[in-house]
Amino acid sequence: MPATSEINPQLVKQLREKTNAGFMDCKRALAESGGDLQKAEAILRTKGMASAGKKASRATKEGIVASYIHLQGKVGVLVEVNCETDFVARNENFRDFVKDITLHIAAAHPLYVNREQVSSKIVEAERAIYEAQMKGKPANVVSKIVEGKLDKFYSTVCLLEQAFIKNPDQTIKELLNAKIAELGENIVIRRFTRYLVGEPLAAEP
């Protein structure tokens, strides 16, 4: 089975166009299928990711803002999760999902919702570090290793790419897609804030 960093970007692009599933979901499905496009599409459909992707363009103007306080007031999380209708916003299943997201954010400390929110300056700084670590190796090898390390970086700082604390075999993105398929509506984790008592503010040294 090829590693995700070795998957042909053109195959990923084709799979995304066919299924509307997320970039990393497509890479994982192709890795799992050994690079077979049809098998990868079947894997995505089985997990509900393809149908979730098709709902991704639908407007999400309802939803809830939820909070969670942990460690006797030492950690606090505020998150906004959107859906399409007030009916789903009031659904206990949806609210349990949002609660799981707040618990996860408190424990896993993501910095962004997705990789698109990570500034290009930060990405380039990370890339420069990884390239410096690979100095002296062939360019094609360096490229694959650097992309793999960047994927690992994203899985550390981006909420949707983190492993779910209650089920490490499932990413938050996969959990979200499963919930979209289950509830039949587009769901978007729009934003979150995590507070830790005593942590420095951005303007502080």
CA quadruple 23, 188, 69, 88: dihedral sign: negative
* Per-residue pLDDT at 204: 47
What are the pLDDT digits (tens) for 140-194? 888 889 999 999 999 999 999 999 999 998 999 999 988 988 888 899 999 999 9
CA 132 distance to own-chain centroid: 27
pLDDT of residue 205: 42
Q: Could you give the CA distance from residue 125 to residue 38 in angstroms, rounded to a whole number?
A: 37
| SS3 assignment, position 66 | strand
Are 37 and 43 within 8 A, CB to CB? Answer: no
Beta-sheet pairing, 188-196 with 167-171: unpaired
Q: What is the mean pLDDT of residues 14-38?
A: 82
* Angle of CA points 90, 94, 95, to nearest 5°: 70
For the whole model, what pTM was predicted?
0.71
Both structure tokens of 178 = 């499963």
Q: What is the pLDDT of residues 86-141, one digit of tens each?
A: 999 999 999 999 999 999 999 999 999 999 999 999 999 999 999 898 887 887 88
Domains of the chain by start residue, with CATH? 4-55 (1.10.8.10), 62-115+158-196 (3.30.479.20), 119-156 (no CATH)
